[in-house]
Amino acid sequence: MMRALIDTGAIYAFTVVGDQHHPEAARFMRNWIKQDGIFFLSDLVFIETMTLAKRRLGSEVAIRLGSELRENPIFSWISLSPALELETWAAFRSYNDKDWSYTDCALLILARRLKIPGVFSFDSHFGQMPGIRRLPS
């Protein structure tokens, strides 16, 4: 089974037809599903996605999207444990020369701990991170 983390920008891109990355995101999602791939969805990414969706698309769309993310078995929920949160904080502090968000650092830590080599994202920051590959590549 193929496994990858998923980032807010990728969720937004495959949800919003007008997004510049939508065609690539939709194509990637179709292929991922055909290959029985699974995405690990961090609670931080979910929070970030719900905030973005509500602000840009409205409450109704955000709730539908949130329900899909919570109920579709292609997404496996991951909550940051206190230990993972401390590692995320340490990464956030140690990579202070980078423009990485706290959520980006959490995905880096999750990728390392869960031995997941890729993250579905259109964020260029993941190309800077050691040991993680941005998908689609």
**Tally of CA atoms within 13 A in the half-sphere of 19 that contains its CB:** 20
The pLDDT value recorded for residue 131 is 87
Predicted confidence band of residue 21 (pLDDT cuts 50, 70, 90): very high
Output the furthest CA–CA distance in the chain (Å, rounded): 39
Mind spelling out the 3-state secondary structure of 18-71?
A: CCCCHHHHHHHHHHHHHCCCEEEEEHHHHHHHHHHHHHHHCHHHHHHHHHHHHH
- The predicted-structure confidence for 57-103, as pLDDT tens digits, reads as follows 999 999 999 999 999 999 999 999 999 999 999 999 999 999 999 99
- Cβ count near 22 (within 10 Å): 15
Length of the chain: 137
Structural domain boundaries, residue 105: 3-135
- This prediction has a pTM of 0.94
**What CATH number should be reported for the domain holding residue 14?**
3.40.50.1010
Please give the full DSSP string across 84-127, using - where no structure is assigned. HHHHHHHHHHHTTTS---HHHHHHHHHHHHHT--EEE---GGGG
Structural domain count, the chain: 1
- Cβ count near 41 (within 10 Å): 21
Beta-bridge partner residues of 6: 120
